[in-house]
Amino acid sequence: MDLRIEYPVALLILIPLFVYFFWIWRRHRQQWSKIYLAVFAIRVLTVGALVFALANPFIFLPNEKEQIVYLIDRSASIQGADDAAVQFINEGLAGKENHQEVGIYSFAESIQTETLLSSEVDVVPELSPVTANDETDIGKALQLVSGITDRQKATRVILLSDGLETKGNVLEEVSRFANSNVTVDVVPLTKAVLHDAVIESFTSPQVAFDGEAQQLITEVSSSVRTNASLILYENDAVIHREEVTLEEGKNRFTYSHRGSSQGLVKYEAMIQVENDAVLENNKLTSVTTVEAPPKVLIVYGDEKGTAIDDIIGESTVGYDVIAASDLPSSLSSYLAYNAIIFDNVPGHLVGEAKMTVIEQAVKHFGVGFMMVGGENSFGLGGYFKTPIEELLPVEMEVQGKHQLPTLGLALVIDRSGSMMGSKMELAKEAAARSIELLRDGDTLGVIAFDGIPWEVIETGVLKDRKDALDKVSSISANGGTEIYTSLELAYKNLQDLPLQRKHIILLTDGQSATNASYEDLLAAGLEKNVTLSTVAIGSDADRTLLEELSLLGSGRFYDVTDATMIPSILSRETAMISRTYIEDNPFYPTVYQADHWNALFEGGVPQMNAYIGTTAKGMANVIAESEKEDPILAQWQYGLGTTIAFTSDSAGAWAGDWARWQEWRPFWQTAIAEMLPSYHEVAYDIQSQGNGNYLITDSSNEAAFLNIAAINEQGENLPIEIDVLSAAKVRVTVDSDPGLIFFSIANKEQQIYQSGIYVPYGDEYAAKPTNTALLEKIAELGNGKVLEDPKEAFRTFTHQGFESKSIAHWLLFIAMLLFFADITLRRFGGTIIPRFKQKKKEIQAEPVETNVGKVLKQMKKK
């Protein structure tokens, strides 16, 4: 038994109390009777008991119960060893005694419960699936298990693992178990791999010149001698396929490639082996910067194509022309170009995901961007509140200078169960953007439907925009699909309103049968100036019906396979009916002072026929504007990239005399020249140090002033930490999953250097043996042992658990008894005893003879 105090600092209160009681005793000890001395002692003991109770003392009593916790490693490196672990535990459970509790937990990167600690566990249940097994964090698993167990009981943790730790520090964690009642035993697990081929490294030159032969070197290790296919890719296109023989152990293959791509070129090596054990380690990627003349990507949205390639003709700038529907999704594809031009491209053909990747390419890698007008561009293209609007020098919204029609808009949104998840969230985001595009005073109605219509926002004048947005965000997905009644309600709400434009947008991913006539409903609506556009989402939508409804309703039909297009579509629809965007009165633009541009206009400014209305952003450089002060040509710097907005068209229908202007070709050449980034001539050296750390060396000794960003293939800005080591070196720590990441490095002059680094598959997928040394060290630090016999898990514990019992309540009880003793002595002890003694003395005392007595006595004698 052991006595301990939880709050020893509380005992310091005894010091002033002792001084006080000592002073009282010194001052009054000569005057006090024994009773008062007893009362004084009782009070001292009472106060002492109260102070000790405040310090919360407790004693340790032996605890006979014991805990055995099994911790099973189920990471990818030991995949397939579950059966061996379960068998080991089941054999051990045969030796469990009644006073012993057993818990079973499994882990990879995080821990999950298989069975809670209980004395009734007799067999291992079916193990639950593991969702994330690409990391092994043994230390975290031990930490969490120690928090689950009762620390007052003797505890033994049985770790079943291959010891291949990829995250955390298990030795640091297990050392914390020293001087505790927790011990750690280990059971080494091994994975039987009969056949596995691994690409251990794949390298290409960091920098190469256009047309130069590049050495692509692939190193492959194999557990057995076997045949395989080695495939090499350049920017996802196959450039080499070879049947090879893999010898057991290391194999090296070299291929000389004269590439046709420029800029950041992605090379990839893949090995294909029949019946390969681990597929994740069969692919690696490398990136080479190929120096070449500038190259521009021209994207068109109109079926007629683009006129820009014919205008610029042959020049020192190369270009590729593609349709918007063929835009790539990966960042590496855009970094192969120095600038991107969108010529009359509607936003719904691009999608938010690709817009995000383009925005990152402009902001962090200096890729230039230009948007050219047309009836499918800018606000009419649905770019309101998109990443493309953010990077442009103009806003899609037309503010204050245009006479706008009165508008009624009804959104009819499918909220059936099939819309659950991202489709519902994107539909709500789209509705929110449409609401933000509306003006105060416009009419709005929102109907969400499943089997029946629900008026989320009753059709009426938009007064409280925030309340409308809150109501839209509350829509949830559930139920079936019934379109007609909701569409009928939307028409009923709009058709009698005295508005110039009345429009309905129907968005659904399902099908709905009805006996009612859509033709009659839509025809009656057209008589009341109500139009209808429809959006079909996914493969289950009734495209035939929705396309027919859009034709009958004099609107537009959108066939959406990528749900991220939904916000752009609704923004475009709202913009088309709520604004007079196209200004088609011929005019002469006003040109302002701007370097590199003014020489074009020395001979005069041609007449222009039309443009799309936009609003220039505050920091934009407006080079030319209309008579209504709308920007025609604007430019600004967005991050490291230059972006340009030209709100007229390239074909000439809107550009008018500009298309016949002798400076028309120089105009486009100037725009391209303005967009081209300034690249750093000297490559920074980037070396991987493992665990997400990269050492960047700057030969100019200005490493502390570098602006560094890391972006993955999906265009996501990765979190980084920068540590300046010296004038020439910085260490960058990047938190990234396996895959390709791109570094953008800019110096003080905003010169840009680009580089791609491939984060390879994790160590979980490397061909490594069981780390027996680490497991033995864990057992040593955990005061345990390496188990061979399953029944040893329930061997006699060398230490015993203790249960702490607080005695503060007993001290309070003693203090209460002393308090009543104090009261009793003070109330009765000081009065009863003195009175008793006084009566006794009166009985024993001689009677006193008075004068009257003496007189009476003499009279008797006479």
pLDDT, tens digit, for every residue of 268-305? 999 999 888 788 888 898 888 887 788 899 999 988 88
pLDDT attached to residue 833? 47
Which of 322, 313, 210, 186 has the alpha carbon at shortest distance from 265? 210
Mean pLDDT computed over every residue of the chain: 86
> DSSP secondary-structure letter at 247?
P
pLDDT at position 679 is 64
Confidence of residue 205 (pLDDT cuts 50, 70, 90): confident
Report how far residue 645's alpha carbon sits from residue 797's, in angstroms, rounded to the nearest whole number: 77
Asked if pLDDT for residue 420 goes beyond 90, the answer is no
Segment of 61-75, 307-321, 505-519, 625-639 carrying the highest mean pLDDT: 625-639
Segment 494-513, tens digit of pLDDT: 988 988 888 999 998 877 76
| Joined tokens for residue 356 | 């995000």
Binned at pLDDT 50, 70 and 90, residue 801 comes out as: low
Q: Give the pLDDT confidence score for residue 372 in this predicted structure.
A: 96
Q: Assess whether pLDDT exceeds 60 at residue 388.
A: yes
Q: What does the alpha-carbon distance between residue 862 and residue 858 come to, in Å, rounded to a whole number?
A: 7
| Residue whose tokens read 């004038």 | 727
| pLDDT for residue 682 is more than 60 | no
Residue 136 and residue 168 in contact, taking contact as beta carbons nearer than 8 Å: no
Burial of 22 (0-12, 13-18, 19+ CB in 10 A): exposed
Mean pLDDT for the stretch of residues 810-836 = 74
**Higher local confidence (pLDDT), 57 or 159:** 159
Q: What's the whole-number mean pLDDT along residues 658-669? A: 92
pLDDT above 70 (res 838)? no
Give 849's pLDDT tier (boundaries 50, 70, 90).
low
Asked whether residue 845 carries a pLDDT value surpassing 50, the answer given is no
pLDDT in tens, 131-186: 788 889 999 999 998 888 887 788 999 999 999 998 889 999 998 888 788 899 99
What is the DSSP code string of 747-804? -TT--EEEEEEEE---GGGS-----HHHHHHHHHHTT--B--SGGGGGSPPSS-EEEE
Q: What residue ranges in 294-354 does DSSP mark as E strands?
A: 295-300, 318-323, 339-343
For residue 403, the model assigns a pLDDT of 54
Question: Has residue 830 got a pLDDT over 90?
Answer: no
Most confident range (mean pLDDT) of 610-614, 687-691, 857-861 is: 610-614
Count Cα atoms within 13 angstroms, Cβ side, for 624.
23
Q: Does the pLDDT value for residue 88 go beyond 90?
A: yes
More confident residue, 479 or 675: 675
pLDDT reading at 808 higher than 90: no
- Give residue 836's pLDDT: 42
Average pLDDT for 402-417: 81
Taking residues 316-322, what's their average pLDDT?
86
Q: 161 near 186, Cβ under 8 Å? A: yes
First to last CA, the chain: 92
- pLDDT at 683 (0 to 100): 63
Confidence check: pLDDT of 99 > 90: no
* pLDDT above 50: residue 843: no
Tell me: pLDDT of 658 over 90.
Answer: yes
Spell out the residues 6+ positions from residue 454 whose beta carbon is closer than 8 angstroms to its own: 415, 447, 448
